[in-house]
Structure 1
Amino acid sequence: MIGIVNYGAGNIFSLTSALDRLKLNYGMINTESDFDQYSHIIIPGVGHAGAAMEKLQQSGLADVIPLITKPVLGICVGMQLLTAHSQEGDAVLTNIIPVRTLLFDKKLGIKIPHMGWNNIEIKDNPLFAGIEDKTQFYFVHSYFIEYNPIFGIATADYGLKYAAAIQRDNFFGVQFHPEKSGQAGERLLLNFSNLKS
């Protein structure tokens, strides 16, 4: 059963709708003790990484998340929260995965935010089982996570190569929105639900 970390970081309706379509059971995590009820944890997020981190700290969940040994998936800002630092609000984050979240540079001649479908290059990883390399996923973001080959499990290109997905141990993150990415996104969520602790 999937627990969704509920810390007021944006609309989670599209995520719960996707889980409903997949017939995956889920519930909301509001307090530290709620983590015990779930086998898999999703950290959603829309908006500002610094503000999201503040909300996590206020809820008392920020100190608990790095200690989780179950599979964890951060989506969009939820992925950025797994990194060490974000230029957005000059925010110190959980540092579960020691990479940085950076602002796209307009000098690259790109529109910011990056919004729309983008194909990704995939490494062999159980999160992407059954998903072909160069599959398109849906992105909406102004900040990106620098690519580090140790932690990067997928890359995207938007003016520069950056991490579309990351992993360290039981922690996974995706910059795109699987819940808005059609069949491939639903396959990824199903793959996540099948990961073993």
Structure 2
Amino acid sequence: MNIVIVDTGCANLKSIKVAVKNLGYDSIITSNESIISESEKIFLPGVGTASAVMKLLSEKNIINIIQKFKQPILGICLGMQLFCDFSEECNGVKTLGIIKSSVLRLRTTHLPLPHIGWNQITFQKEHALFKKIPNNSRFYFVHSYIVPINKYTLSTTNYGINFSSVIQKNNFFGVQFHPEKSGNIGSQLLKNFLEM
């Protein structure tokens, strides 16, 4: 299988590649538009700021390729947030516009930000992405912005408020947590995505 991890310039690219390799699959980290457009599965990771990643995607001419991609694509953390059409980050950033939602700053009255650590995901729908994953399983999160609950939400998580922790629209899948840092349960989710 031709698997691409989009080179978004973030720090967790290698850990995703290792996690995929541990499942028996080879992948390539690249920002080459022709390689990305011909791939069968895409991982869109993101750590850092939406503005920096969108700038890089624009410079590499990848935005249009992602928007029109027909094969399964998994956005991880910031990568999931980029599927929305706007982020509150840095006084407002226009993002990919696949899902009609804004990304909002996580506002809690008594909990520290960013939200770092293990937290549960609660299924809102049955889905192939959750095969062999028990409801309320714990995954590893690091983020300060959220995708509000919407019609594409597959699971929610609570950190002061409820937010989308897994979303899907057509071939676009997103997880707010880091499956590559979530042990066996994270590996199962990656396996499910790769086997879809």
TM range, normalised to the smaller chain?
Answer: over 0.9
Gaps of 5+ in 2: none
SS in 2 for 1:131: coil
RMSD: 1.1
Runs of 4+ with >3 A deviation: none
Gaps of 5+ in 1: none
Give the match for residue 95 of structure 2.
93
Matches of 1:145 and 1:7, distance apart in 2: 20
Q: Output the TM-score relative to the length of structure 2.
A: 0.95
Give the match for residue 192 of structure 2.
191
Q: Output the TM-score relative to the length of structure 1.
A: 0.94
Paired positions, count? 193
Give the match for residue 74 of structure 1.
75
Give the match for residue 20 of structure 1.
21
Q: Within 5 Å, give how 1:135-174 maps onto structure 2.
A: 135-148=137-150, 150-174=151-175
Greater mean alpha carbon deviation, residues 63-72 or residues 20-29: 20-29
Give the match for residue 52 of structure 1.
53
Matches of 2:186 and 2:89, distance apart in 1: 26
Q: Deviations over 1:129-187 (max 9, x none)?
A: 11110000000001111111x10001000000000011000000000000000111000
The code of the aligned residue for 2:188 comes to R
**Is the contact between residue 114 and residue 142 of structure 1 (CA under 8 Å) also seen in structure 2?**
yes
**Is the contact between residue 120 and residue 154 of structure 1 (CA under 8 Å) also seen in structure 2?**
yes
Q: Residue 95 and residue 36 in structure 1: after superposition, are their counterparts in 2 closer, same or farther (change >3 A)? A: closer
Matches of 2:185 and 2:71, distance apart in 1: 23
Q: Deviations over 1:116-135 (max 9, x none)?
A: 00011012111111111000
Matches of 1:77 and 1:60, distance apart in 2: 19
Cα deviation for residue 8 of structure 1 reads 1.3
The code of the aligned residue for 1:74 comes to G
Matches of 1:110 and 1:145, distance apart in 2: 18
Matches of 1:10 and 1:99, distance apart in 2: 26
Matches of 2:11 and 2:56, distance apart in 1: 11
The code of the aligned residue for 1:101 comes to V
Cα deviation for residue 28 of structure 1 reads 2.3
Give the match for residue 132 of structure 1.
134
Identity value in percent:
39
